[in-house]
Structure 1
Amino acid sequence: MNEAVVRKEIRGSVAIVTLNRPTKRNALSKQLFIELKAAFSSFPSSVRAVIFTGEGKHFCAGLDLSEHRHHEPFEATLYSRWGHEIVNAIRYCGLPVISALHGAVIGGGFEMISATHIRIADETAFYQLPEGRRGIFVGGGGTVFISRIIGPDRMTEMMLTGRKFDAQEGHHLGLSHYLVPEGQALEKALELAEQVAGNAVISNYLMLNAIGHISQMPAETGLFTEAVAQALVMTSSDAVTGIDEFLVKKQDFNFKAAE
């Protein structure tokens, strides 16, 4: 039996989804796509956060081009739409997804991490969109999601030239939220996953879903949607508990400060 090309591990309230084709730099094969979509389609109710990473020296080197030498136009369109389904499965799985990045973050791999909610890179990470140099075009949501992070102007330049950004340059562009020493991305991801897993479920859900949608709405529509989202959270039992705990801690702090 062939080894799974996507591993899924549950550690308490945290799930770890790992691309597992290290000898191919975790290139995105059809089988990997199938297993990745399945991995993000469901999680046990105990899971409150997800870490997304890659086995070996690289996160992901993009599409396995050996599978894409010959396509008919309709077939290629359907394959791109399949890629969009996978990116949306990551973005809208209902849980905070934290990517732990190292080595190559290229092409389709780059597109996938643009759908994650917190991105942690170690100093070995580098980013590239070489599609223009290979006579192809992005097809996994990059024109929407990568361009929202770095802007369409910068994305156009990256694709035209195929230039590579190292971890520090990528961090300045907003491609990572945290930059850590080599080999420490997963450790930092676990730390943050435990932290966000402690948030109220409804708060996390609305932060993951409402903010992205509101950003695409006209201002007044967005403000109304924000008010509804805020009302749903503020009237939940989790909000009552959280506010009461804060007030008790504040009262205790003020009491000790007055002593």
Structure 2
Amino acid sequence: MINVDSAQDYQSLAIEERGNGVFVVSLNRPEKRNALDAATIEELISFFSTAQRKGVRAVVLAGEGDHFCAGLDLVEHWKEDRSPDEFMHVCLRWHEAFNKMEYGGVPIIAALKGAVVGGGLELASAAHVRVMDQSTYFALPEGQRGIFTGGGATIRVSDLIGKSRMIDMILMGRVYQGQEAADLGLAQYITDGSSYEKALELADRVAQNLPLTNFAICSAISHLNNMSGVDAAYAEAVIAGVVNTQPAARERLEAFANKTAARVRPNS
């Protein structure tokens, strides 16, 4: 059993260990369509700050109820009546949580359903893989709410679909769903069945990779994309030097050399 914080330590998240290093982390506010309040953000920071060091091999990020996440808890925001600097610090905590996810080195597969809206889309875009079902819809309604994105949409969502489409989404309140959403890059997988079951299948598969290799894939690539081309090339070479010579890879490389490893085949 992996030594992570007890599930009882979390109120806004439901944590389940599946026994093979795969954890399910579920937003647990279905009565609020899993809207993100300050407490939920702090729990995301708590879990993802230590997940890699404590041996978590992969995470399925899900939502209880019918929706993945409807974004910022606007009722809490309205009641708190925060000052500009107070809300700036709220946004910085969101960035802390999502950066821990994107750069933390543990593969995160988001199981999307229903609303993936506003801050919910910002959360989903911090995952490394997104699986949507036929109920999933994506939107950035901040323009109609009189507010602006504060959790990284201008960075991650625009990276997924392009600056012009991101501007159109927030300006017009445009909603994407179905194959069109997948084709734009909002999700890498679309399923007619359960996005949760598909996400578990993918998590089980990726958990079989070597942890150091997964760490490089789910951390270094994001860092490299923030660098200049020449700096990224140098850093990539250094990372490859470490990862590609790890002792744990020797057995897998030997299997390939002996022609006993599984071969890459096209999908049937």
Q: TM-score, normalised by structure 2?
A: 0.89
Bigger Rg over Cα: 1
C-alpha root-mean-square deviation of aligned residues, in Å? 2.0
SS across alignment from 2:120: helix
**1:177 maps to which of 180, 188, 191:** 188
- 2:29 paired residue number: 21
- Runs (4+) off by over 6 Å: none
Structure 2 matches for 1:19-58, cutoff 5 A? 19-43=27-51, 45-58=54-67
- Contact persistence 1:8–1:39 (CA under 8 A): no
- Contact persistence 2:110–2:199 (CA under 8 A): yes
**1:140 maps to which of 151, 167, 171:** 151
- 1:222 paired residue number: 232
Aligned residues: 252
- Contact persistence 1:234–1:240 (CA under 8 A): no
- The 1:134/1:252 distance shift into structure 2, 3 A limit, reads closer
- Contact persistence 1:87–1:115 (CA under 8 A): yes
**What is the CA–CA distance in structure 1 between the aligned matches of 2:39 and 2:262, rounded to whole Å?**
56
SS across alignment from 2:71: coil
- 1:74 paired residue number: 85
Percent of aligned pairs with the same residue? 43
- 1:7 paired residue number: 14
Q: Quote how far apart the aligned CAs of 1:120 are.
A: 0.5
Q: Quote how far apart the aligned CAs of 1:37 are.
A: 2.0
Q: Quote how far apart the aligned CAs of 1:46 are.
A: 4.3
Structure 2 matches for 1:31-180, cutoff 5 A? 31-43=39-51, 45-69=54-78, 70-180=81-191
Deviation track 1:213-236 (CA, whole Å, cap 9, x = no partner) reads 212222221111111111111211
Amino acid in structure 2 at the alignment position of 1:130: P
- 1:257 paired residue number: none
Point out where structure 1 has 5 or more consecutive residues left out of the alignment: 254-259
Q: Quote how far apart the aligned CAs of 1:252 are.
A: 11
Amino acid in structure 2 at the alignment position of 1:203: T
**2:241 maps to which of 209, 231, 239:** 231
Amino acid in structure 1 at the alignment position of 2:92: R
Amino acid in structure 1 at the alignment position of 2:216: L
**What is the CA–CA distance in structure 2 between the aligned matches of 1:174 and 1:221, rounded to whole Å?**
27
**What is the CA–CA distance in structure 1 between the aligned matches of 2:234 and 2:49, rounded to whole Å?**
30
Amino acid in structure 2 at the alignment position of 1:123: Q
Q: Quote how far apart the aligned CAs of 1:152 are.
A: 1.1
- Contact persistence 1:149–1:174 (CA under 8 A): yes
**What is the CA–CA distance in structure 2 between the aligned matches of 1:252 and 1:88, rounded to whole Å?**
34
Q: Quote how far apart the aligned CAs of 1:41 are.
A: 2.5
